[in-house]
Amino acid sequence: MSKGISEKVKGAVNKVKGESKDQIGNATDNTKLQGEGKKDKAKGAAQDEVGEAKKKEEKK
């Protein structure tokens, strides 16, 4: 598996994990859990961007 795709998979996992935490935190009125979820989603988005960059570099 290429490094770009690996980063994109990690990013997707973190986005899903973050969305879950955010929604559960929202449903239970747990602002700490919501914050963790938003952080995980941001981390996932960053990993996705890194994966895209690595994928473009591999094509060169």
pTM above 0.75, yes or no: yes
Model pLDDT for residues 2-53, shown as the tens digit of each residue? 788 899 999 999 999 999 999 999 999 999 999 999 999 999 999 999 999 9
User: How confident is the model at residue 1, as a pLDDT?
Assistant: 63
Closest Cα partner for 34 from 16, 22, 18?
22
Task: List all residues 6 or more positions away from 37 whose beta carbon is below 8 Å from its beta carbon.
Answer: 17, 18, 19, 20, 21, 22, 23, 24, 25
Q: Return the domain boundaries, the chain.
A: 3-59
* Residue 42 backbone phi and psi in degrees, to 5: -65, -40
User: How confident is the model at residue 3, as a pLDDT?
Assistant: 81
